[in-house]
Every structure is written in structure tokens, then in C-alpha cells.
């Protein structure tokens, strides 16, 4: 199914005193590029979140944000570095003795050294944390995918419309192409008649016209261009990610259109080539938004 690379999704879940909101935003990018904005307590879950995103998103720049709205009291606890406490105590006693201070050492003095405490976060160890992250992320990704598919549907319809216009331009060019050889013949006859008068060889003129007609023949280019448009339609209806393949197809289609314009050297063909290239440029812009 055709999907846009641009979208936004949000999800929220609460369980066992833990409340979490997940937000996922995607924009255009050549590959899948995931960036995180996670609270310190959840940074250990980065790989888990990355794998969940890869199940739903295959291309684009993804920005994932998690917001802790409620945290259970038992999520944190303090540990005391008793060795460091004793080291500080001994150092303070030594200083007091050297300076002949009479005031006794108290707990207040030790508490000035905050590094004796370590705040431990056990959210990364709780099974409920995994469930809350997964549920909120699933909801966000579902909303994101739905939005991307709706936008992708609009892009698909636009590309199909422009593809049909391109096909019409190619059919008009095919209808004009027989006139190109005749135009070459008349121009050559006129030019030779002006230069040589009655002394030119009609068979030679016919041979030269045949050579020019072969050089200006655009049937192969028209056939290949039509084939590219058919593959484009098939790709749009495919369930696989289509953006890269469509980008390549449009590059090949542009190459054929340019060759047709260069070989035909005919005003009517040139005008249709300009119209076709205008549609093609708009199609290339749209394809850049597809996953």
C-alpha cells in the first residue's frame, strides 16, 4: 500500500502507577533514520523502541519522544557509598585535628558531599515498564501509519492522474511521428534544389532521407516510455514500499522523453515533450514524499 513518509502519531497508556505518552513524527528521508528524545529513566529501552518502529516504518526520518507523566514511588531508591562516607569522615577528622578545631564532626558535615548517594531507577527492570512503553508506542504508530496511508492515497491518485496525462502526450507524439520523416524529406529536397538546381539525384535524396528518418525514429523511445508508465501503475498498486522504485522509474522516463525531444526536432513533438516534462517534474516532487 502506498504510504507517505510524512506523518504524526500519538499514544498514551497507564499501568501500575506508570503513565506514559509516546509521540512519533516522520518526515522525508532517503533511508530509515530514527532519533530519540527519551527521559533519562527510559534510555535503556532505546533498542526495544527502535525494533518496534522498524516493524511499522521502513523509510523516512523518525523522531520518537516519550514523556513520563506519572511514576510509581517505588521506581526510585537511594544507595549509600559507605566506603566513601568513611573516607570523608576520616579526612574531616584529620583536618579538624590539624587545625585544632574543637567543634565535633556531625552528620551535617558529611551530607554536604552529595556523591555519597546514588539515585537508582528501577524502571528498566520492571516488567510493567515494557508493557506501558509497548502499548503507548503501538497506539502512536497505528495513528502514524493511518495518517501516512491517507496521505499516500492522495499522492497515488495524483500520480495516476499525471501518469495518464503523460500517456496521452506519448500517444499524441506517436501520432505526429510519421510527419517527422516527411518533414525531413521536404526540407532536404528544398535545400538541395536551391543548391544544385536540376542537377541532383533523386535516389540520393531518398537514401539521405531514409538515413535521417532512421536517426529521427522515436518508436523505441515511445515504447520504452509507455512500458515505464505501465510499471509505474503496477508499482503504485503494489503492497510493497514504492518510493525508491518510482524515483528510479521516473528518472528512466525522463531520459526517454529527453531523447524523443532531441531526435524528433519537430515543433509539435517539442511542444508535447515540454508538457510531458512538466508533468514528470511534478510527479518526481510527489514521489519524494512516498515511503
pLDDT digit string, tens, across residues 54-91: 999 999 999 999 998 887 766 666 678 989 989 988 89
pLDDT at 105 over 90: no
State whether 133 and 194 are in the same domain.
no
Does 107 share its domain with 31?
no
Same domain flag for 273 and 212: yes
**pLDDT of 265 strictly over 80:** no
Domain identity same for 167 and 133: no
pLDDT-derived band at 101, boundaries 50, 70, 90: confident
Q: What is the mean pLDDT of residues 136-147?
A: 96
- 2 within some domain: no
Determine the structural domain holding residue 26 and report its residue range: 7-73+128-148
Share in percent of the chain as helix, strand, coil (round to 5) = 65, 15, 20
Among candidates 141, 190, 156, 142, which has minimal Cα distance to 289?
156
* Pairing mode of beta strands 60-70, 18-27: antiparallel
> Does 207 score more than 70 pLDDT?
no
CATH number, domain containing residue 65: 3.30.230
Rounded average pLDDT over 141-166? 94
Average of per-residue pLDDT across 271-284: 92
Q: How many domains does the chain fold into?
A: 3
For residue 106, is pLDDT > 90?
no
Are both 15 and 45 inside the same structural domain?
yes
Q: How far is CA 90 from the centre of its chain?
A: 61
Average pLDDT over residues 172-181: 79
pLDDT band at residue 199 under the 50/70/90 scheme: low
Q: Give the up-direction half-sphere exposure of residue 102: CA atoms within 13 A in the CB hemisphere.
A: 0
* Mean pLDDT of all residues in 164-175: 91
The mean of the pLDDT values for the chain is 85
Which phi and psi (to 5°) does residue 32 adopt? -90, 120
Structure confidence by residue, pLDDT tens digits, 212-263 = 666 667 888 899 999 999 999 999 888 887 888 999 999 999 999 999 888 8
For residues 53 and 112, membership in a common domain is answered with: no
Q: Are residues 51 and 139 in the same domain?
A: yes
Average pLDDT of the residues in 119-124? 67
The average pLDDT across 127-138 equals: 88
Q: Which helix (H) or strand (E) holds 1?
A: none
Read off the pTM.
0.70
Pair 187, 97 in one domain: no
Contact between residue 128 and residue 70 where contact means Cβ atoms under 8 Å apart: no
Which residues make Cβ contacts (< 8 Å) with residue 62, sequence separation at least 6?
24, 25, 26, 32, 33, 34, 35, 53
Share of the chain above pLDDT 90, in %: 45
pLDDT band at 103 (very low <50, low <70, confident <90, very high): confident
Q: 10 Å Cβ neighbour count for 74?
A: 11
Angle at CA of residue 46, ends 45 and 48, nearest 5°: 65
- The string of pLDDT tens digits covering residues 14-62 is 887 788 999 999 999 989 999 999 988 888 899 999 999 999 999 999 9
Tell me if 139 is assigned to some domain: yes
Sequential DSSP letters for 4-32? BS-EEEEEEEEETTEEEEEEEEEE--SSE
Q: Do 175 and 270 belong to one domain? A: yes
Q: Average pLDDT, stretch 83-110? A: 86
Amino acid at each position: 500500500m502506498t504510504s507517505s513518509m510524512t506523518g504524526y502519531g500519538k499514544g498514551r497508556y497507564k499501568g501500575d502507577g506508570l503513565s506514559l505518552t509516546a509521540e512519533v513524527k516522520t518526515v522525508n528521508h532517503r533511508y530509515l533514520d530514527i532519533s530519540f528524545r527519551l527521559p533519562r529513566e527510559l534510555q535503556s529501552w532505546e533498542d526495544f523502541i527502535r525494533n518496534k518502529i522498524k516493524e511499522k516504518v521502513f523509510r523516512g526520518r523518525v523522531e520518537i519522544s516519550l514523556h513520563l507523566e506519572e511514576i510509581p514511588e517505588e521506581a526510585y531508591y537511594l544507595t549509600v557509598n559507605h566506603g566513601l562516607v568513611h573516607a570523608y569522615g576520616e579526612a574531616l577528622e584529620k583536618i579538624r585535628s590539624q587545625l585544632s578545631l574543637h567543634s565535633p564532626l556531625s552528620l551535617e558535615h558529611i551530607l554536604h558531599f552529595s556523591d555519597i548517594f546514588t539515585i537508582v531507577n528501577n524502571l528498566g527492570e520492571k516488567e510493567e515498564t515494557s508493557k506501558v512503553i509497548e502499548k503507548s508506542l503501538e497506539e502512536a504508530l497505528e495513528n502514524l501509519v493511518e495518517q501516512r496511508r491517507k496521505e499516500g492515497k492522495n499522492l497515488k491518485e495524483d500520480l495516476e492522474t499525471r501518469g495518464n496525462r503523460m500517456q496521452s502526450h506519448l500517444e499524441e507524439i506517436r501520432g505526429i511521428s510519421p510527419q517527422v520523416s516527411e518533414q525531413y524529406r521536404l526540407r532536404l529536397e528544398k535545400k538541395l534544389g536551391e543548391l544544385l538546381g536540376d542537377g541532383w539525384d533523386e535516389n540520393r535524396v531518398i537514401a539521405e532521407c531514409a538515413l535521417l528518418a532512421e536517426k529521427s525514429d522515436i518508436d523505441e523511445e515511445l515504447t520504452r516510455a509507455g512500458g515505464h508508465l505501465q510499471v509505474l501503475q503496477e508499482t503504485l498498486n503494489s503492497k510493497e514500499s514504492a518510493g525508491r522504485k518510482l524515483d528510479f522509474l521516473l528518472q528512466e522516463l525522463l531520459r526517454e522523453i529527453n531523447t524523443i525531444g532531441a531526435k524528433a526536432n519537430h515543433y509539435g513533438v517539442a511542444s508535447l515533450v515540454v508538457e510531458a516534462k512538466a508533468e514528470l517534474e511534478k510527479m518526481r516532487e510527489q514521489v519524494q514524499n512516498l515511503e
